[in-house]
A and B are shown apart, each in its own frame.
Chain A
Amino acid sequence: MIEILFAQLRAFLVRMRRQPALDWPLALALLLLAAIGLTTLYSASDLDVRTVVNQGARFVLGFALMLMLARVPPQTLRNWTPWLYAGSLVLLVLVAIHGSGRGANRWLDLKVLRFQPSELVKLTLPMMAAWVLNQRELPPKFFSLAIVGVLIALPAALIAKQPDLGTALLVVASGMFVIFLAGMAWWRIALIVGSVAAAAPVAWHFMHEYQRDRLRTLLDPESDPLGKGYHIIQSKIAVGSGGLFGKGWHHGTQSKLEFLPEHTTDFIFAVFSEEWGLIGVCALIALYIFIVGRGLMIAANARDTYSRLLAGAISMSFFVYVMVNGGMIAGMLPVVGVPLPLVSYGGTSVVALLAGFGVLMSIHQHRRLHAR
């Protein structure tokens, strides 16, 4: 057993030396995004160097992980997939038993490392879904979909139980992307969308009060300006007062004077919007579009179905984070604890995202050699 692992490690190191190539456009775009993130964080933390250094360290860790994963052939990942998926489920169960966190058990404290297993699931679930569908006839038929459905529902239920409905929905989305990209029939998609819409009132019934409040607040933030509506009101003020060109870096009064809550984490996009204006917002979103587009291109050129589905799901999930966070900042979507990818302060998210891009890089390196 040990010998096998040893041999694999040696083979891995050899490959690393031979294949140093990354997808440079994607890597540069990620580096640029990291730079924007750290700059915004420096301002949002009111020029607190420690915060920026902390976050920088996570980026270093994340990029290192990305480089490592880039060297792992998709084949290997595919072989590990069931174990990784099972492992992340175990972690979720552990969190459910004894986790920590404000108001919700989302964190697993490993003494040296404190992280959210739900972030890990965002990667392992699409891997698992891709792994299953890769072995089955595509477009997926009912039985395949049922299997994937159960695989999605398990972690989603555990996360929703924490309770973290926002992340649970994101996890569900990452699994659904795999199904969608695998070619699930359009009529099935329509059926699912329709039944979700029909189930909304039922969902409302099962929601926690704080979740209902968030939805209520979204619909009418002014009803409770100092309470539940405060986040949305202050965020909209920050965004709106930024105008076309913004107030300038570190001139955003909403964050500097602490009117804007959570301004280094979930609401950092509002800080960015206040300081850089609509021009900055457009540039940032353009960068996100480029990253997602590049990810989808890599997926399209992937060697096998597993890689394709995985790369596609990772890319589209990335978009969902941007959309959900941006929609929350702009008062379009309810307040859910979703960070702005690679900009918000927070370690697990950065490392998990960059790990995902590591997988993308790997897929890129092992693309079809006969690609056009």
Chain B
Amino acid sequence: MVNISKGRLRVKDVRHEADTFRMRAIVGFLVILVALSALITRFAFLQVTHHEEFTAKSEANRISTRGIAPSRGLIYDRNGILLAENTAAFRLEVVPEGVKHMDAMLAELDGVVAVGEDDIARFNVARRNKKPFESVPLRLKLSEDEIARFSINRWRFPAVDIVPYLTRTYPYGETFAHVLGYVGRIDLSEAQRIDASLYTGTTHIGKNGIERYYKDELHGTPGYEKVEINADRRQIGTPLERVAPTPGKNLYLTIDARLQRAAETAFNGRAGAAVALDPRNGEVLALISIPTFDANLFVNGIGQIDYSRLLNDPLKPLLNRAIAGGFLPGSTMKPYVALAGLELGLRKPSDTVVSTGEFHIPGQARGYRDDFPAGVVNMRTAITESVNTYFYTLAYEMGIERFSEGLGRFGFGVKTGVDMVGESAGVLPSREWKRGHSKEPWYPGETVVAGIGQGYWVVTPIQLATAAASIAAKGELRTPRLLRAEQNELNAAPQPVPPALLRGTTITRPANWRAVADGMIGAVNEAGGTALGLGKDFPYVIAGKTGTAERFSRTDETWTSIATSSAERHQVLFECFTPAEDARIAVVVALEAGHSGASDAAPIARKILDSWLAFDDDARRVAGSAGAP
């Protein structure tokens, strides 16, 4: 072929060109085949060799497992009155991933809905265990105003949302604050302690009281759901798999809410504590500590003002005096000293002592005072009339070793083991205790004053109530307890918890019980009794013992400086049980200040017994469970 171009003439070798092309095309095609084979090999490498790995990654992409928080168990009193429930509320939640400048956003949000520093602190704690695309609660329990304000301004906060949730509510927030405790948001130290998988989706944890002691039972087990999500982490369709959470157990307490209310009312605001036990089984029928506080304040983060008010209150409303309040027992200790003497074989009930109004340790000048010269008294009269000399003598004869051992049998100086958190052990006077607290040796005079519940003694109301209940139960010392039954689901039958174990036997011979019980019955019912008149118009015989302990030593300067009112000088107590011969209730009332146990504490105990009486009859009719009436 001849190609004429631009005036030049060139003979092109067309056949050769075609052959060259054919060769090059074949080479090219072979290269193509090799290249595409390599591509297929690469696909095979991904799709066959590493198929499992990429399938797992694809599933991980697509499936998100979300924990579902269980609903917290409810708490009832022994008659099914609801004491702690879960109510619907609204809170603000933030998806941290959607926020560019968290601090700026929070500051801006604070202008719409108050967000406190502690809210932010807890928010930051909660964020640690979450992935950035997971929603984290910021502000709990929004008021209607706040919801309205936020709704208007919602467009400014794309990563913030109002979310409904269940919040803990205590219908009798003040009456049961010291029994139930409260739940609060999980703080940093708790977050490190708890099993995060168990608390997935849960913001709160029991902080105190029953809520804390039974936190595992109340919490339940979280469920989870597997949902398909897209690249924006939005859920697609219905969950692929859902395992429902197991709600926490509902708890039935031994407390009788009516008795609890009556006891609270009877105190009329005076600082102190009361514990009512059923001596037959150790059930705590009422447990109050005055002053109290509203447990609801703590649930959704207590405000700084409220909190500092509670903290700085001189009456210490946050202190649970019933289990952690230390009282000088005073004369309420006498029945136990008497029993220790009997059990140790140092005394027979008929043994007498002469009270001259003052006791001297042989060879010592110092006198130990009695209120009045009672003359010749036996054990019964000594208890009834609270004759100090009888117990000075007895304690002195016992010596501190036997004294500590004999009184220790009633559970003094150790925690009772009640199912609450924060119990104090108190102080049982002993050489060991003093060795741990002082360089001085033990002086015999200290044994003498310990005999009337003075000196180093510290008891908690629940200790004293447990001891009193052991006399009421003719020597059976039981661990007090607050949990009566557990319920797995709302309509299931409550399962009674096994009865508390017997901690020990405090009285071995019926005659010993008789003597002490007679003394306590006399104190309430006989002429000369320190609490005479307390049993008036009560259908059952009440056995009791007053205690009026001096808060300050008489040589102390405080004694004279505040001596204007004897009410401020004394801690006053009263212990009692009824019916005396076959007790169904034992009550201890302790006041931090008062004239005397008889005038201040005993009337409160009587009011508690009166209200118990109103419920006791139908309680016996319905229950009939725990032993014969």
Which B residues touch A138, using CB under 8 A? 12-13, 16-17, 20
- Any chain B CB within 8 A of the CB of A309? yes
B558 nearest CB across to chain A (Å): 70
Contact A316 B230 (CB under 8 A): no
Assess the B18–A308 pair: CB atoms within 8 A. yes
Q: Is the CB of B230 within 8 A of A259?
A: yes
Q: Assuming A289-B36, A316-B28, A316-B32, is B20 touching A237 (CB within 8 A)?
A: no
| Residues of chain B contacted by A331 (CB below 8 angstroms) | 42, 46
For chain A, residues 166 to 185, give those with C-beta under 8 angstroms from any C-beta of chain B. Answer: 177, 180-183
B40 contacts the other chain (CB 8 A): yes
Q: Are A254 and B58 in contact, CB atoms less than 8 angstroms apart? A: yes
Query: In the bound complex, do residue A254 and residue B61 qualify as a contact, i.e. CB atoms below 8 Å apart?
Result: yes
Given the known interface contacts A259-B231, A296-B28, the answer about A285 and B36 at a Cβ–Cβ threshold of 8 Å is yes
Q: Which of B28, B29, B55, B231 contacts A258 (CB 8 A)?
A: B231
B window 35-66: CB within 8 A of A: 35-36, 39-40, 42-44, 46-48, 50-51, 53-55, 57-58, 61-62
- As a 0/1 sequence over residues 395 to 438 of chain B, the CB contacts with chain A under 8 angstroms (1 = contact) are 00000000000000000000000000000000000000000000
User: A139 vs B236: C-alpha distance in the bound complex, in angstroms?
Assistant: 62
Contact with B39, one of A139, A258, A285, A305 (Cβ below 8 angstroms): A285
Question: Is B228 an interface residue when CB atoms closer than 8 A count as contact?
Answer: yes
Cβ 8 A contact of A257, one of B21, B47, B54, B230: B230
Chain B residues near A237 (CB, 8 Å)?
Answer: 54, 57-58, 61
User: Quick check: B35 and A240 within 8 Å, CB to CB?
Assistant: no
Nearest CB of chain A from residue B61's CB, rounded to whole Å: 5
- Measured CB to CB, the closest approach of chain B to A334, in angstroms, equals 14
Cα distance A292–B211 in the bound complex, in angstroms: 76
Q: Do B21 and A308 have beta carbons less than 8 Å apart? A: yes
Contacts of B12 in A (CB 8 A): 137-138, 305
Partner of A243, one of B13, B20, B25, B48: B48
CB distance from A59 to the nearest CB of B (A): 24
Across the interface, which residues of A come within 8 angstroms of B18, CB to CB? Answer: 300, 305, 308
Given contacts A183-B21, A239-B54, A296-B28, contact A277 B47 (CB under 8 A): yes
Residues of chain B with a CB closer than 8 A to A123's CB:
none
By beta carbon, the residue of chain A nearest B14 is: A305
Contact residues of B: prevailing secondary structure: helix
Query: A180–B47 Cα gap in the complex (Å)?
Result: 35
A258 nearest in chain B by CB position: B231
Complex partner residue of A281 from B47, B58, B229, B236, CB under 8 angstroms = B47
Given known contacts A240-B50, A293-B29, is B61 in contact with A300 (CB within 8 Å)? no
- The distance in angstroms between the C-alpha atoms of A254 and B44, with both chains bound, is 19
Residues of B within 8 A of A240 (CB): 46-47, 50-51, 53-55, 57-58
- B33 in the interface, Cβ–Cβ < 8 Å? yes
Q: B286-311 toward A: CB 8 Å interface, digit per residue (1/0)?
A: 00000000000000000000000000
- Contact A330 to B62, CB < 8 A, known contacts A257-B228, A293-B29: no
**Does A273 count as interface, using CB distance less than 8 angstroms?**
yes
Q: Contacts A135-B3, A258-B230; is A330 near B36 (CB within 8 Å)?
A: no
Which residues of chain B have C-beta atoms less than 8 A from A134's C-beta? Answer: 3
The answer to whether B24 touches A181, judged by C-beta atoms less than 8 angstroms apart, is yes
Residue from B10, B39, B46 having most chain A Cβ neighbours under 10 A = B46
Specify which chain A residues have a CB less than 8 angstroms from the CB of B103 in the assembled complex.
none
* Contact B58 A238, beta carbon cutoff 8 Å: yes
B21 contacts A299, CB within 8 Å? yes
> When the two chains form their complex, are residues B25 and A181 in contact, meaning their CB atoms are under 8 A apart?
yes
Which residues of chain B have C-beta atoms less than 8 A from A244's C-beta? 47-48, 51
Asked if B22 is an interface residue, CB under 8 A from chain A, the answer is: yes
Pairwise interchain contact B54-A236, C-beta atoms closer than 8 A: yes
Verify B229–A273 contact, CB threshold 8 A: no
Give bound CA distance, A278 to B40, whole Å. 8
A300 engages B47 (CB within 8 Å): no
Interface residues of A in 82-135 (CB under 8 A from B): 134-135
In the complex the two chains form, is B48's CB within 8 Å of A326's CB? Answer: no
Point out the residue from B5, B32, B61 that lies within 8 Å of A289, measured CB to CB: B32
> A265 to chain B: which residues have CB within 8 Å?
none
Nearest Cβ distance between residue A360 and chain B, in whole angstroms?
Answer: 13
With A135-B5, A285-B36, A312-B25 known as contacts, the answer to whether A258 contacts B232 (CB < 8 A) is yes
Residue in contact with A326 in the complex, picked from B39, B53, B54, CB distance below 8 Å: B39
Contact of B48 with A300 in the complex, beta carbons under 8 Å:
no
Which of A139, A239, A309 lies at the interface centre, i.e. has the most chain B CB atoms within 10 A of its CB?
Answer: A239
Which of A181, A277, A323 is packed against the most chain B CB atoms within 10 Å?
A181
**A312 proximity list for chain B (CB < 8 A):** 21, 24-25, 28
Residues from 285 to 319 in A contacting B, C-beta threshold 8 Å: 285, 288-289, 292-293, 296, 299-300, 304-305, 308-309, 312, 316, 319
Residues of B with C-beta under 8 A to A309: 21
* Residues of chain A with a CB closer than 8 A to B17's CB: 138, 183, 305, 308
**A312 to chain B: closest CB distance in Å?**
6
Give the one of B21, B50, B51, B54 with max A CB within 10 A.
B21
Residues of chain A contacted by B232 (CB below 8 angstroms): 258
On whether the beta carbons of A239 and B46 are closer than 8 Å, the reply is: yes
Instruction: Supply 10 further A-B pairs (C-beta < 8 A) apart from A257-B236, A282-B40.
Output: A177-B28, A181-B28, A253-B228, A254-B58, A254-B61, A259-B231, A304-B1, A319-B36, A326-B43, A330-B39
Binding site for B on A (CB under 8 A): 134-135, 137-139, 177, 180-183, 234, 236-244, 253-254, 257-259, 273, 277-278, 281-282, 285, 288-289, 292-293, 296, 299-300, 304-305, 308-309, 312, 316, 319, 322-323, 326-327, 330-332
26 A–B contact pairs at CB < 8 A? A181-B24, A236-B54, A238-B58, A239-B46, A239-B54, A240-B47, A240-B50, A240-B51, A240-B53, A241-B51, A241-B54, A241-B55, A241-B57, A254-B58, A257-B231, A278-B44, A278-B47, A289-B32, A305-B17, A305-B18, A308-B21, A316-B32, A319-B32, A323-B35, A326-B36, A330-B39
Query: Which 4 interchain pairs have the tightest Cβ spacing?
Result: A240-B54, A241-B58, A183-B20, A257-B230
